Every structure is written in structure tokens, then in C-alpha cells.
Amino acid sequence: MAVDYQALKNGGFMRQKQKDHFSLRLKVVGGELTSSQLRTIGQVAETFGDGRAHLTARQGVEIPFIKLQDVEAVKKALADGGVETGVCGARARTVTACQGSEICPSGCVDTLSLAQQISRRYYGRVLPHKFKFGVTGCQNNCLKAEENDVGFKGGYLVTWRPEACSFCGVCAKVCRSKAIKVNPDKVLLEKDRCNHCGRCVKSCPTDAWRGQPGYLIYFGGSFGNHIAPGRRLFPLITDPKVALFRADAALVFFDHHGQPGERFRATIDRVGWERLIKMVATQVDDAAETWTGENLSDLANANLANSDQTSSNLANSNQTSFHQANSDRASINLTSVDNNSSLISASLDITDVVCPMTLVKTQVTLADLPEGAILAIRLNEGEPAENLPRSLKDAGHQVLKTRDNGDGSLQLLVQKGARG
């Protein structure tokens, strides 16, 4: 029987130079393993390998010299000991993290908790190329947030309490960005210079500085064959849900625009940073406002002020064929749509997508269509069918028709509006 080496690789078994031997990659989230898991890894290495394990550059563990005939036995032995095999190939990889605020005195956020949430949300997801997340707890940047496709860096949103201040000047001395100036009766914070390190909070002897934990997010980092640091596109985000919405939108952008074998940074450079900013800011703001009652637009207004027109021009440059096919669709007769599928510009299947990503994926698809174009959406009954039409109407689109497919799903015909 032929060996499916690609399936083995997808499951973490990487072929070695030695025939029919593999180095097995294991799943390690945030560099965290229990003593029991370590014993299991050691036992598997002794029984099925050559007694060694390799610690990777991204906090992973690999067991080399696993024989082809032992693959199933190795997977069982690891599973019995609570150890999961890793993934390779074009997938979301293991999340790295420092020890964060739970252990490290410098840490501003609980990095392991966030890494576990990210892993549950994205690990193993198939994408155009590998995709890496990293979480670092503070400005010391031990996990190098900028090296990741999406990197999170912990920080504090700081505030000064004059009633508690002794004006000792310690905060100004420890501030590496020189953002604090202490006068005899007042402390001045230059917010534009503050890097959210939190050293003022941690060093103040009278607790006059308070810090609210938050996240700085970096997009498009790459330190492989092509080296490029990730870029921070938004201010500090203090709500973990909002931070994950940003990451959600980045993956949708990559899944939608990325070409096979193309890293996330290359996709952004090709499609345009302006389009990424617009999509992550506006689409995610819409989703968060709809699904959590929060308005996030204040986090992104500064970034969008100069990018909307450029984004529109970039999008329009890719829509010539759509315009040719849709120039007369400002007013559509529903009977014509039912009888002529050529009037539908694009189709989208989101039956495997949960809220709020149903809205995000729909908005991404609509962004590539001209005004008046019709999108046919297949979605599940229940919450998606209840929420998505309302959200699309609120965004300025027209829901033309809803049809029951008879299999637990619906078809939604949506005409793109001028505000879309």
C-alpha cells in the first residue's frame, strides 16, 4: 500500500534523510508542558526513537528517528500520555508565548491564557501558507512579536492619580521612552511617546500610576527566507475579544487573498496594506458592534483617515470584469435573478463558519464586488440566518431574497449597496 507522506507531514511526521524515518513534531502551546507530558515524551523517544528529543526555535519539541512502521503506535502512546502531535505545511502553527504576568515581574498580560485561546481558535487551520502567532508579555519582547504573521505584545494603558503622588520622580527616571516629566505639583505624560511598557506602574512607591492591561498587535512579520518585521496598525487594545477579532480578520484576509505558497506578508504587500487596514478596522468594528455591543471605530479612525480613498482605488483596479458584467444592475428584478443565474456575480458558502465571522467573510467578499452586484450566500439556519441579514442591511446592502434549501441551510441573495 502506498504511503501518504503528505498526510503524515500534515500530522507532524517530517521525513528525515534516513529512509522511512521521521522527526515527529509535537503540539506545545506557549512553551508549556506538564511534568507528566515530559515523561511521556521521554518514554516515546526511548521506545520508538533513539532516546533524544529536539527543542525547536519556536518552543516546540520534536522526536527524531520514528520509524514508519511505528507511526500508529507512537500516536497512541502519546495520546495516552496527554500529548498531541503537531502540524506542518500550510496551516496555522503552534502558538509561542513567554511566561507573562503570571510569573514574570515585567509581564503586563497573561500570555499563556491568550496563547491557549489563539490555539483553540486557529491551530491547524488550512491556509495558503504556514501562519505563525506569538505572544510576548511586555516591551522586553522576549518572544519577538514582530517576527510573527500576527504577533501580540502586552502593555499597559497608564493613568496618573495626582491624589496619590509624592512627586518623587521615580517614574520619570525609569521611563525609557522619556514620556514622563515631573514638575513640583504636576506630572506630565506625553502619550505619543509612551510605549506602554508599564515601568511607571511597577516602580511607583505610592501606586500613583495605574495600568490597564492591553495588547499591541503586529501584522505581517516574517523571519524566514524573507525578513520583514510586522507592523503595528492600531492603538493598544484593552479588550481581549477585540484583539481576537483583529486576528480573525487577518486570517480571513489571508484566506481570501492569499495565493498557494505565499506568506501572509507577501499577500499584504501584493494586495495592499491599505486594504488590510480597512478590512481589519471597519469590518471587525462592524462585527464587534453587532455581536458584542461594542463600538471599536475609535481604535482605528486615525489609521483609516488617509487610507479609505487609496483602498477604494486599489479595490476598483481589480473590479473591471465585475463592472462590465454588472453595469446595469442598480435595479434588479427578482424573477430575473431566479431565472438567470448569470445575474449573480459571486457565491459564498459560510455553512462551516460561526458568528461573527459569517459577517466578516461576507464583508470581505462584498468588498471585491462593485456597487449593485449580487452575492449568493449559503448559510446555516438559526443564529446566522437571523443575524446576518440585519447586519448587511445596517451596512447599506439590500437583502433581495431568502430561500430554504431544504437541508438545514438557506440561500441569501444580497445586492451590494453604495456604502458597502
Q: Which residues of the chain have pLDDT under 70?
A: 1, 282-342, 418-420
Residue 86 lies in a domain: no
Number of residues written out for the chain: 420
Looking up residue 376, the CATH number of its domain turns out to be 3.30.110.40
CA distance 59 to 96: 6
Question: What per-residue confidence (pLDDT) applies to 418?
Answer: 59
Residue 9 lies in a domain: yes
Tell me, yes or no, whether 159 and 298 share the same domain. yes
Tell me, yes or no, whether 161 and 228 share the same domain. yes
Residue 365 lies in a domain: yes
Residue 420 lies in a domain: no
Tell me, yes or no, whether 30 and 102 share the same domain. no
Residue 353 lies in a domain: yes
Tell me, yes or no, whether 261 and 398 share the same domain. no
Question: What per-residue confidence (pLDDT) applies to 219?
Answer: 98
State which residues form the domain around 237.
Answer: 96-304
0.75 exceeded by the pTM?
no
Question: What per-residue confidence (pLDDT) applies to 341?
Answer: 55
Question: What per-residue confidence (pLDDT) applies to 368?
Answer: 81
Query: Considering only CA atoms, which of 175, 212, 198 is closest in space to residue 105?
Result: 198
Question: What per-residue confidence (pLDDT) applies to 320?
Answer: 34
Residue 67 lies in a domain: yes
Residue at which a domain ends, from 244, 272, 304: 304
Tell me, yes or no, whether 135 and 12 share the same domain. no
Tell me, yes or no, whether 40 and 142 share the same domain. no
Contact 216, 141 (CB under 8 A): no
* C-alpha torsion angle, residues 224, 227, 233, 237 (rounded to 10): 50
Tell me, yes or no, whether 267 and 391 share the same domain. no
Residue 68 lies in a domain: yes
Contact 190, 234 (CB under 8 A): no
Number of domains in the chain: 3
Question: What per-residue confidence (pLDDT) applies to 67?
Answer: 97
Name the 3-class secondary structure at 377.
strand
* Percentage of the chain lying above the pLDDT 90 cut: 62
Question: What per-residue confidence (pLDDT) applies to 167?
Answer: 95
